[in-house]
Structure 1
Amino acid sequence: MAVISYRKAINQALEQEMARDESVILMGIDVGGGTGGSGDVGSVGGVMGVTKGLYPKFGPDRVIDTPISESAIIGAAAGAAVTGMRPVAELMFVDFIGVCLDQIYNQAAKFRYMFGGKARTPLVIRTMGGAGMRAGAQHSQNLHPILTMIPGLKVVMPSNPYDAKGLLIKAIRDDDPVVFLESKALYDMKGEVPEEAYEIPFGEANILRDGRDATIVAFGAMVPRAMQAADRLAKDGVKVTVLDPRTTSPLDEEAILDSLDETGRLIVVDESPPRCSLAADVAALAVSQAFDALKAPVGMVTCPHTPVPFAPNLEDAYIPSVERIVEAVKNTL
């Protein structure tokens, strides 16, 4: 297997699915890029270069640079999906979800239900979130809790290159709307990825490490930090399970509860504010369905309930750290 970046894994998934199925189209702000500029058309590939190189291969009819209108992008993509296409719409930052939320939660997410199960909406919304990139409060949030609570949406948060490719291919082939939430902090992360196409099922957690002292459930960019915390804890003789749900909707509740039954201690790491977060959701799951298994209160490691700071030292402190994860585990012990 080749060793490629998280960014390249996503690009590879898009390229392979577009080559396999002519109904797959890509649309968004500067997904081709270079139009009207000094460079070649297709030379940009989005703000992070994720779609670079796809325009020359598939042309303007399938890699569509859109106006700067999130409502138009998602509205057009939803319409394309119900009329036979498989659009992959890029929402540049998840922070802009408010501009087009009606098209997502009041339209695309409801089509199957409103039309008696007869409407298919094979729509993928690619977007990115997360702090740490000095992008300011309006470009650094993780809004997966908002998206996860919407019935009819599937929400994906890949934490490594292998999962990024397999989950995106699954998302493109799925007949329901999927929000594919990429982490800005992981784009340069490298790992082994098969060259051929493959799917990773939704709703199946990945257990990256097995231990009997405590269970750490982490989402997206917090998974590598949880693994670092597990390494540090192992030096002190503490062995933890690290569980990556990979999708927040559907959520692999069974895997979480099974692990909790073995360890009796649960720490949830979520890069979002604590109120109504995935950390709170998983903690509630544990308390409501596995209370007898708990040997200690559930630990939650989250961001504070504030906007993302712009000052670098404050932004770094805002994100759940390896040290805070280690401390939370030790507190449960």
Structure 2
Amino acid sequence: MREDSTIIVMGEDVGRYGGAYGVTKGMIEEFGEKRILDTPISEEGIVGSAVGSAMTGLRPVVELMYVDFVMLAMDQLANQAAKIRYMFGGQISVPMVMRAQGGTGRSGAAQHSQSLEAWMMHTPGLHLAMPATVTDAYVLLKHALKLSDPVVFLEHKMLYTLKGDLNPSTSPSWGQAAILRTGSDFTLVTYSRMVHRALEAAERLANLGIQAEVIDLRTLYPLDTETINSSV
């Protein structure tokens, strides 16, 4: 945001409260209320406002508290944000990022623990990133903010308690899967929080003499099928 004055942040409690998981803590003090916008509790209104802002030259970053709530905004996300570039023949773009956290891990119950990435992945016009580590979250988000198309950026709950390298010179990994462990017996293809579980499983299997290769997809759209096919 220091480098690009067009970036704004929108969402419930992203300002004074600092976000549901503290991601935007301290940002309103640095960038002010015109760029860090607390919104009403209306996911459709939040995403719709972001779509309009993006169409008129801003780069909004929307935070939804839980990915479950994206269902309240799917008309704006799937019918507007994802389609506008194609409806207008590429003359208008929607450079926005919608952040949300999803999946299980903190006893969020039925309406706060869903994994809806398959829905996002199969919505033409949307990019989808699901980082497993702090470093990947940092690098992928920086890249997402440079794209001209809408990006859905889903974070797992454990990510907020991890630590990692935030080196600005780290190479972009958009659309590139990472082979985190090599193995010749079979391949575990995964993403987000399950990357950590897969690595744990691979370590246990290694103790039994079974060598598993672990691939972290990092982005589900674009999907790095070349790395997957080369492994299997």
Q: Give the TM-score normalised by the residue count of structure 1.
A: 0.68
Where 1:71 maps in the other structure, the secondary structure is helix
- Please provide the CA RMSD for this pair: 1.1
Task: Give the distance between the partners of 2:89 and 2:165, measured in 1 at CA.
Answer: 42
**Which one has a bigger Cα radius of gyration?**
1
**Counterpart residue type for residue 90 of structure 1:** E
Is residue 256 from structure 1 mapped to residue 228 from structure 2 by the alignment? yes
Q: How does 1:1-333 map to 2 (within 5 A)?
A: 18-33=1-16, 44-194=17-167, 196=168, 198=170, 200-260=172-232
**Counterpart residue type for residue 52 of structure 1:** K
Runs of 5+ consecutive residues of structure 1 not aligned to the other structure = 1-17, 34-43, 261-333
State the Cα distance separating 1:199 from its structure 2 match. 5.5
Contact kept in structure 2, 1:91 and 1:127, CA below 8 Å: yes
Identity over aligned residues, as a percent? 50
Q: For 1:75-101, what per-residue CA distance to the aligned partner results, in whole angstroms no more than 9, with x for missing partners?
A: 000000011000001111100011110
Task: Give the distance between the partners of 1:238 and 1:59, measured in 2 at CA.
Answer: 54
Q: More helix per residue: 1 or 2?
A: 1
1:198/1:22 CA distance change after superposition, 3 Å: farther
State the Cα distance separating 1:203 from its structure 2 match. 1.3
Runs of 5+ consecutive residues of structure 2 not aligned to the other structure = none
Task: Give the distance between the partners of 1:130 and 1:231, measured in 2 at CA.
Answer: 24
Task: Give the distance between the partners of 2:56 and 2:169, measured in 1 at CA.
Answer: 26
Q: For 1:271-304, what per-residue CA distance to the aligned partner results, in whole angstroms no more than 9, with x for missing partners?
A: xxxxxxxxxxxxxxxxxxxxxxxxxxxxxxxxxx
State the Cα distance separating 1:59 from its structure 2 match. 0.2
**Counterpart residue type for residue 32 of structure 1:** G
Q: For 1:193-244, what per-residue CA distance to the aligned partner results, in whole angstroms no more than 9, with x for missing partners?
A: 32x3655242110110111111100111000000011111111111111001
Task: Give the distance between the partners of 1:236 and 1:184, measured in 2 at CA.
Answer: 31
Q: Give the TM-score normalised by the residue count of structure 2.
A: 0.97
Task: Give the distance between the partners of 1:89 and 1:32, measured in 2 at CA.
Answer: 12
Q: For 1:119-153, what per-residue CA distance to the aligned partner results, in whole angstroms no more than 9, with x for missing partners?
A: 11110000010112011110011110111010000
State the Cα distance separating 1:71 from its structure 2 match. 0.7
Where 1:166 maps in the other structure, the secondary structure is helix
Contact kept in structure 2, 1:167 and 1:199, CA below 8 Å: no
Task: Give the distance between the partners of 2:171 and 2:139, measured in 1 at CA.
Answer: 4
Where 1:187 maps in the other structure, the secondary structure is helix
Task: Give the distance between the partners of 1:213 and 1:197, measured in 2 at CA.
Answer: 35
- Size of the aligned set, in residue pairs, is 232
Structure 1 stretches of 4+ with a deviation exceeding 3 A read none
Task: Give the distance between the partners of 2:199 and 2:164, measured in 1 at CA.
Answer: 15
